[in-house]
Amino acid sequence: MTTVDSSVPGRGGALPRLGLAWVTWRQHRFAFYVLLGMLAGFAVLMVDGGLQARSTYDRLGLARCTSFAGGRCFQLRDELFSWYPAQLPFLFLLLLPAAFGAVIGGPLIGRELETGTYRFTWTQGAGRTRWLLTKLFLIASVLAAVAEAYGALYTWYNAPLDHVMRFGFGDYLGFELGGIVFPVQTLLAFTAGVFAGLLTRRTMVAVGAVFLGSFGLIAALVFKLRRYYMTPLVTAGRIGPRDWVVGRAYVDPTGHLLDTGQSHILFTKYLAQLPSSSDGPSVSYRDWLQARHYTIVTSYHPAGRFWTFQFIEAGWMGLLILLLGIATVWLVRRRIG
C-alpha cells in the first residue's frame, strides 16, 4: 500500500470541533433568522400590549378586588376584558407548531434526497448517523426554545386578564401556551416533517402534508379530543375557578341522567309552556327545572388537573417523537441508496 502522506493534518484524528454544528448552522441559518425575526416581532407586540394591559389593570384598580361575583368589580373586569383585543387573532398561534415543524423538518432530509446532495454528505468521514443526530438535536433544541418563548410571552401578556377572568384551564389558549405542550407539539411536527421528507423524498410534499396533518391533529385536540384524557368529575353544585367544564346534563326527579334526546324533549316542553307574547311572566330554564325537581349536573376537570393534562399530552407526543426519531435514524442508516 502506498502510504498516505503522514504530515497531513488530522490523520486518524478526531472530527473538527463543532464541525457538524457549523454545517447545521450554515444550512439552517436562514430559517433561524426568520424564526428569530418572527419571535422578535411577536415579542414587541406582547411586551407593548402586556405593559398597557398592566397599566389599565392598575388604573381600574382591579388589584383591590377579591371577588368578581358581582357589583363594581364585575363591571371593572368586563372593562378590562373589552380592553383586550378580541382573542381571535391569537388563534394563529395554534398554527405555529405545525408551521415551524413542517417547514423546518420537511427539508432536513427531504431536500438532501431530492437534490442528491446526500451522496456528498453521507460519504464524508463523519458518517450519516452522526450528521443526522447532530442536526436533529440542535434544531430541536432551538425549536423547543423558540416555542417556549412564544408561550412565555403570551402568558405574560395575558396574565392580568387571566387573573380576573379565571377561565377553565382547557378553554382559550392558556393550556396551549401556559405549560409544556406547545414546544412538544412543535417537536412532534418537526420529527414528523423529517420522517415524511425521508419517506417521500419530496420537500414540498412533506412540508404540505405534515403542516396540514399536524394542524389538523392540534385543532382536533383543542376542540374535541383533549377533554377525554381523563374521565371528568360530575357535580350538581357550583364549580371552582379554572375548573374546565366539558359538559352539562340533567337528572330527573328519580335520579336518572337524561340522554341528549330526552334533554331535548325536556327543553321543548319548557319552550311550549312559555307565554306566547313577550309581556307574560317568563321563568328561566334553570328555575323551571328546579320547580320540577330536575337538577343540572356539570362534568368538569378540576383545576388541579392542568399539569396532569399537560403531562399526558406531552407524554404521548413525546413517545411518538421518540418513535419517529428512531425510525428516521434507522431508515437513514439501513434503507437509503
Partner 1 sequence: MSAGVAIETAGLGKRYGRTWALRDCSLAIPGGHVVGLVGPNGAGKTTLLSLAVGLATPTTGQVRVAGGMPAGSAAALDAVAFVAQEAALYRNLSVADMVRVGRSLNRRWDTGRVQARLAELGIPLKKKVGALSGGQRSQVALTLALAKRPELLILDEPLAALDPVARHDFMAALMAAVSEDGVSVVFSSHVVAELERVCDYVVVVHDGRIQVSGEVEELVAGHHVLTGPAEQADVVAQRFPVVRDRRAFAQAHLLVRAADPSAAPPGWQRQSVGLEELVLAYMREPSASVLPGPKSAPGEQVAC
Minimal distance in Å, beta carbon 204 to partner 1?
16
Q: Is the Cβ–Cβ distance between 159 and 192 less than 8 Å? A: no
Enumerate the β-bridge partners of residue 244: 301
d(CA 25, CA 19) in angstroms, rounded, equals: 10
Q: Which of residues 32 and 84 has its CB atom nearest to partner 1 in the complex?
A: 32
Helical pair 203-220 and 181-200, crossing angle rounded to 10 deg: 150
The phi and psi torsions of 164 (rounded to 5 degrees) equal -95, -30
- With CB under 8 A as the rule, give the number of residues binding partner 1: 37
Query: Mapping DSSP to helix (H, G, I), strand (E, B) and coil, where does residue 242 land?
Result: coil
Q: Is 68 in the site for partner 1 (CB under 8 A)?
A: no
Q: Is 127 in the site for partner 1 (CB under 8 A)?
A: yes
Residues 14-53 contacting partner 1, CB under 8 A: 14-16, 19-20, 22-23, 26-27
Enumerate the β-bridge partners of residue 251: 257, 295
Q: Which stretch binds partner 1 (CB under 8 A): 33-41, 112-120, 171-179, 282-290?
A: 112-120
Q: Which of 57, 100, 118, 244 binds partner 1 (CB under 8 A)?
A: 118
Minimal distance in Å, beta carbon 337 to partner 1?
3
Q: Is the Cβ–Cβ distance between 317 and 264 less than 8 Å? A: no
Minimal distance in Å, beta carbon 3 to partner 1?
9
The sign of the CA dihedral 143, 36, 211, 307 is positive
Minimal distance in Å, beta carbon 123 to partner 1?
4
Nearest to 333 by CA among 133, 193, 187: 133
E-strand ranges in the chain read 233-235, 244-251, 295-301
Q: Is 219 in the site for partner 1 (CB under 8 A)?
A: no
Q: Which stretch binds partner 1 (CB under 8 A): 4-12, 164-172, 173-181, 204-212?
A: 4-12
Q: Which stretch binds partner 1 (CB under 8 A): 74-82, 113-121, 170-178, 245-253?
A: 113-121
* Residue 78 CA: distances (Å) to CA of 27, 162, 164: 49, 12, 9
d(CA 200, CA 195) in angstroms, rounded, equals: 9
Minimal distance in Å, beta carbon 144 to partner 1?
24
Minimal distance in Å, beta carbon 18 to partner 1?
8
The phi and psi torsions of 298 (rounded to 5 degrees) equal -115, 130
CB atoms within 10 A of CB 17: 8
Q: Which of 42, 57, 131, 229 binds partner 1 (CB under 8 A)?
A: 131
Q: Is 119 in the site for partner 1 (CB under 8 A)?
A: yes
Q: Which of 42, 68, 100, 122 binds partner 1 (CB under 8 A)?
A: 122
Task: Mention every residue, 6+ apart, whose C-beta is less than 8 A from residue 138.
Answer: 21, 24
Q: Which of 75, 87, 115, 282 binds partner 1 (CB under 8 A)?
A: 115
Minimal distance in Å, beta carbon 36 to partner 1?
20
Q: Which of residues 111 and 226 has its CB atom nearest to partner 1 in the complex?
A: 111
Q: Is 117 in the site for partner 1 (CB under 8 A)?
A: yes
Minimal distance in Å, beta carbon 28 to partner 1?
12
Query: Mapping DSSP to helix (H, G, I), strand (E, B) and coil, where does residue 167 land?
Result: coil
Q: Which of residues 2 and 277 has its CB atom nearest to partner 1 in the complex?
A: 2
What is the spatial order of strands in the sheet that 295-301 belongs to?
Answer: 233-235, 295-301, 244-251
Instruction: Provide the binding-site residues for partner 1, judged by CB under 8 A.
Output: 1-2, 4-5, 8-16, 19-20, 22-23, 26-27, 115-127, 131, 334-337
